[in-house]
Amino acid sequence: MSPSDNDVAISDSTPQDDAAEPVYRDFVVSDAAAGQRIDLFLTSACDGYSRSQIRQAVQEDGAEVDGRTVRPSFRIKAGQSIRFRLPEAFSDEVIPENIPLDLLYEDDGFVVVNKPPGMVVHPARGNWQGTLTSALAHRFQSLSDVGGPTRPGIVHRLDRDTSGVIVVAKTNAVHMALAQQWHDREVEKEYFAITVGRLDRDRDVVDAPIGRHPYQRDKMAIRENHPTTKPASTFYEVIERIGRYSLVRVRPKTGRTHQIRVHLAHLGCPILCDRLYAGHAVATESWLRGQGSIDGSRQVLDRQALHARRLTLCHPQSGESMTFEAPLPDDIERTIQVIRQRDHR
């Protein structure tokens, strides 16, 4: 049943002096609306938004029930109070932009891109332009639409500041076949990371469940017995230890949000320049060399030192096993050089 004026009490909280501020809508659930999933309820209650927009907003901690953040599948009860942050208005149409792409592979079914750091994969709150999907829309005539209008061709994703290999489907059939490989954990992913801290073991597997951070909405955390918690497993191997840093090969067995970043931080060795989990977002020459603070010398790195280096999958059409590799980007190479100079001083 769709909410109506008789189903809920509704009020808007819209700042009058700053249009950029988020807009909230408040509801009180009636008997008639009880039992619905909150994403379906809000889709019916909030005109002008698609279900995918509403679901994404809820997934990003945009909905609270009686003061508690909930997930899209949460089922509401009569008498509960809902506070919902309305999604930022945007068009479902991806606007093509002439942004250069580094293609590692292309055929009739899919392409493989070496994504640069700083590029958001698909449009989201605060990031409507300069995305990978905008670049893809300009470069290719047709991409799969399985993921919806704002994610043409996107089979999987990388964090904005993670560089490296990402796969994009041209057709729906190939998209679904590739997505099944991800679902069945048949895709082998290898990342390169620089950690702050020397990992004690040469190699190990981290098995620790990951869920939403209890206080910071943009972070994940090692968390047991919570509605957002999912099992997570990461294999790592130390390539080299240089002073207080470790160069690490990482193979995630699952694909949770921020998984590698959370697991390495859990070991006491967060990824260098990881704003969320390492407590710093930039590294200068003097700081990397142990000669001073982060301020005061040439900046070397301004994003997390994490790179999706290699990916192996089964070609959806030929059945051939294929491996794609993206070389280490210049900023990470420079960082390694500075660290080595420090170690040899």
Fill in the DSSP letter of residue 33.
G
* Burial letters 213-242, b for 16+ CB under 10 A, else e: beeeeebbbbbeeeebbeebbbebebeebb
- For residues 221 and 214, the answer to whether their CB atoms sit within 8 Å is yes
On whether the CB atoms of residues 134 and 141 are closer than 8 A, the answer is no
| Beta carbons within 8 Å of 219's beta carbon, 6+ residues apart | 212, 213, 258, 276, 277
Could you identify the residue written with the tokens 């909150």? 38
CA-to-CA distance for 42 and 333, rounded, in angstroms? 47
Alpha-carbon span 157 to 144, nearest angstrom: 15
Q: Which two tokens stand for residue 314?
A: 């089964």
Q: Are 274 and 267 in contact (CB under 8 A)?
A: no
Answer whether 88's CB lies under 8 Å from 54's CB: no
DSSP class of residue 329 equals: P
Nearest to 60 by CA among 52, 71, 50: 71
174-180: list long-range contacts, CB under 8 Å, 24+ apart. Answer: 174/109, 174/110, 174/144, 174/316, 174/317, 175/110, 175/144, 175/146, 175/147, 176/146, 177/316, 178/110, 178/313, 178/316, 179/146, 179/155
Helix (H, G, I), strand (E, B) or coil at 173: helix
Phi-psi region of 54 (alpha: psi -120 to 50; beta: other; left: phi over 0): alpha
Q: Which residues are catalytic?
A: 159
